[in-house]
Amino acid sequence: MDLKDFIREVTALPGLPGYEAEVGRFVATAFEPYADDVSTDVMGNVVARIGREGPRVMISAHQDEIGLMVTDILDDGCLRAARNGGVDPRILPGLEVRVLAGGGPLYGVVGAKPPHLQSDEEKDKALELKDLYIDIGFPAEKVRELIRVGDPIVMLAPLCELSGGRLAGKTMDDRAGVAAMLECARTLARLTPPAQVFCVTSTQEEVGLKGAKTAAYSLDPDFAIAVDVTHGTGPGTGAFEAFPLEKVILTTGPNIHPMLLTKIKETAARHRVEIGVEVESGQTGTDAGAIQLARAGVPCLLVSIPLKYMHTTVETLSLDTVREAGRLMALFIDEISREWEGLVWY
């Protein structure tokens, strides 16, 4: 499948934390042509293994997305909701949503009190989740037949192609990372490095890095690469908190192993991959944070794709950067696995 088509399809699938089965099945099928075997563990992590011997390398990109869950059904049939992951209520008014009810999906819209009816005090306040309602169109009696408290709610937005090779849509965080990992798998299948590479699409990252933590314990890798998104330069971003969309971003800090970082920078220079460096003086807030502390410790790298408007339905990135991130990871794994026995970690 073409990388852009993969992103279009994978971003459209539901996959809230704890409810990733549908996107997991799609991802498993996508990795099968390039893997020796593909499996799904009890946490819902999809693990595609490429290679049978050599150093054990884990690559992790999370497949879950932020969303909502039903908390109440009101007397007018509207739904109240709570966050599942880091949803900003300010982006919700006017969105289309899908309630994943037991009897099948139900479509709705997110509404709020019209500005014409708001008091001056209400107009000056940012909307909170308690001010928003989800309307599926049915009266309360019918809604209570179809929907249960706890049903997941996903936000809907089609992938939009912008000029200059940019794509905008929902769940680029971190389905774009999954796409980069798929591109890496394709390249590894061609390079055939002397390594065992475990491509993991992890679950429940948005609520505590849970899937990566259990997958790393199970796989016990020699080193790992987390691939996620970071902030892309856009309106209001500061000089040191966001990065050009055209560059693959490497992180430095205590979550990252310095020798591996030096090596991947050298690989990027050899193969003319444009990179930037992000400084994280504490935890990165990505799968790398959980993987690093698995078992006796795992040396980690973090490869990031710059993304504008994070945690909205118009997350915007460069398709070429997704492709370059995948290429860089594959070339790095190929090179380091061929010099594995001679590595000096410190």
Distance CA 317, CA 165 (A): 9
Question: Do 41 and 116 share a structural domain?
Answer: no
Q: Is the pLDDT of residue 309 over 90?
A: yes
Q: Is the pLDDT of residue 122 over 80?
A: no
Distance CA 48, CA 31 (A): 7
Question: Do 300 and 194 share a structural domain?
Answer: yes
pLDDT, the chain, mean:
96
Residue 204: left (phi > 0), alpha (psi -120 to 50), or beta? left
Distance CA 47, CA 60 (A): 9
The CATH number linked to 148 is: 2.40.30.40
Residue ending a domain, among 156, 190, 221, is 156
Q: How buried is residue 90: exposed, middle or buried, by Cβ count under 10 Å (0-12/13-18/19+)?
A: exposed
User: Which of the residues are catalytic?
Assistant: 205
Instruction: Identify the domain containing residue 89 by its residue range.
Output: 67-156
Question: Do 10 and 130 share a structural domain?
Answer: no
Question: Do 44 and 87 share a structural domain?
Answer: no
The predicted-structure confidence for 207-254, as pLDDT tens digits, reads as follows 999 999 999 999 999 999 999 999 999 888 887 789 999 999 999 999
What's residue 123's pLDDT? Answer: 79
Is residue 304 a part of any domain in this protein? yes
Widest distance between CA atoms in the chain = 71
Residue ending a domain, among 156, 189, 209, is 156
Q: Is the pLDDT of residue 149 over 90?
A: yes
Question: Do 54 and 118 share a structural domain?
Answer: no
Question: Do 304 and 212 share a structural domain?
Answer: yes
Question: Do 174 and 52 share a structural domain?
Answer: yes
Question: Do 193 and 145 share a structural domain?
Answer: no
Distance CA 226, CA 26 (A): 21
C-alpha distances out from residue 215 to 28, 50, 104, 293, 342, Å: 16, 16, 31, 12, 27
